[in-house]
Amino acid sequence: MLRFCCLGSGSEGNATVVEAGDGLATTRVLLDNGFNGRQLRLRLARAGLGIDDLDAVVLTHEHSDHVGGVRALLRHSGLPVYCSSGTARAASLETTFREVVAGEIVAIGALRLMPFPVAHDAAEPLQYVFGDGERRLGVLTDVGAPGEDVINALAGVEALLLECNHDVGMLRPGGVAARSARSPPARAGRRRPPEPAQQPAASRSGGTGRRARLRCAGRAGGRPGLRPGLAALLTPARL
C-alpha cells in the first residue's frame, strides 16, 4: 500500500511523509524538511509517527523552506539523505548524501523513486514519482514551468500531490517568481522547457481512465485572500 501525509507546505516550511508497505514491512521517507526539530516532531505526532519511524530523507532542492531543518535532523537521527549532487553542494551536505540522478530509479526499502528535473531557481532541483510496484504518487511543489520532463514523468500516476499557488501576476520581470520560471542550469544538452502555460501540467499528463486525486496543503503562500477558497482542501491528512 502506498500512502502519504503532507506535514506542511509554504514559505514557513515543507515536509511530506511517503509510506509503502505490505503489512509485514513498511518503508517511510521524509520528503524535505523545512521545520525545526520541535515542529517536525509535533507534525509527525499528529500523523501518529515519530522520527524513529522514518527510514530516509529525500530532498528536492536547497531552499531553506525545504531543507532548513535537515542538518539538525541528520545529526540527531543518522538517517541517510538522498538528493542531487547540486542540491548537496548548495545545502552543504556533500559528506553525507547519497546521489540521486534525474531519470534513474532509486530504491529505498519498499519504495521506488523516479526523480525528474524541473525549472526552478535552485542548483539542481528535482521532483519525484514514488511507487510501490502497484501504485504511483507524483509530487510537484516548486516548479516554474511544466516542461516536457514534468509532463512525461507524471503521466499515468494514480495520485498527485500538487502545490497550488501559481499566480501569473507575480511573474514580474526580474522578480524571484519570474526567475523560478526559467529552466534549470544546462546539463548534458538539456533543452529549455516551454514558457509557463495557463493549462496546468496535471491536466495535460495523459488520461488513463483511473481515478486521480489532488491534494494541496499549506498556507497558500501566506496570502490570506486565498485561504477561504482552499479551506476544503486543507483538512489534516493522516497516514
pLDDT tens for the chain, 239 residues long, are 899 999 988 888 999 999 998 778 899 999 999 999 999 999 999 999 999 999 999 999 888 888 889 999 999 999 999 999 999 999 998 778 999 999 999 999 999 999 999 988 788 999 999 999 999 999 988 887 778 888 999 999 999 998 776 556 655 565 554 454 454 444 434 444 444 444 444 444 444 444 444 454 444 344 443 333 332 233 334 44
Q: Are 231 and 41 in contact (CB under 8 A)?
A: no
d(CA 204, CA 13): 29
Q: Does the 2-233 domain belong in CATH 3.60.15.10?
A: yes
Alpha carbon separation from 35 to 16, 102, 154, 199 (Å, rounded): 11, 26, 27, 32
d(CA 81, CA 109): 14
d(CA 199, CA 46): 35
| Residue found under cell 546521489 | 99
The residues spanned by each domain of the chain are 2-233
Alpha helices in 54-207 (DSSP H): 64-67, 70-77, 85-90, 148-154, 176-180
- How far is residue 97 CA from its own chain's centroid? 17
SS3 126: strand
Alpha helices in the chain (DSSP H): 37-46, 64-67, 70-77, 85-90, 148-154, 176-180, 227-230
SS3 238: coil
The residue type at 116: F
Q: At what angle do helices 70-77 and 37-46 cross, to 10 degrees?
A: 80
